[in-house]
Amino acid sequence: MKFEQLKVSGAYAINLEKREDDRGFFARYYCESEFKKMGLNTHWVQMNNSLSREKGTLRGLHFQYPPHSEVKLIRCLKGAIWDVIVDIRKGSATYGQWDALELTEENRTMMYAPEGFAHGIITLTEDAEILYMVSSVYSPESEGTLKWDDPFHDIQWPIDPVIISEKDSIAKPWSDEKAVIL
């Protein structure tokens, strides 16, 4: 695995190191010892699967407050998504900053989002499917939503959303009082 630090502190793009031959290739999706060497989370309690049927489906920006903050490891299995994270950790050097990766079934790149980040996607193709591992069990009472078009982060989305859930469309503007303290 190849780890590339993103511009927001603690987040990584992770690319596979393929071993190829005439049959195809083999690569590790996850390796506890390599994650430990990088100082990353190695404890996963859930693996989630999400399918969005329409191009332009926006999901997020979601996060969980402590003590249920979660690390996420995201990969696109089918189609393509634009995966975005926003640092909402109070006192972080990159607080309020965002970064994004295009994750596709072809590039097999993964996004590592540490605790204290809001996470969202917009689908770039129809029938986009993602698989993601999380470090904490989902807790509805700890859930937060960061408005997808909030001036706080000023994300430059690659396409306009076509489908947005009610929860995501009514998210309130961000205020520093909502920041995550880890």
Annotated catalytic residues are: 62, 132
- Yes or no: say if 71 and 78 are a contact pair by the CB < 8 Å rule: no
Q: Specify the amino acid at residue 2.
A: K
The tokens for 34 are 């390599």
Token pair recorded at residue 79: 């189609």
H helices present in 98-141, as ranges: none
Residue with tokens 């780890």: 3
CA distance 10 to 25: 29
**CB–CB of 142/64 below 8 Å?**
yes
* CA distances (Å), origin 143, targets 87, 160, 167, 181: 16, 25, 11, 14
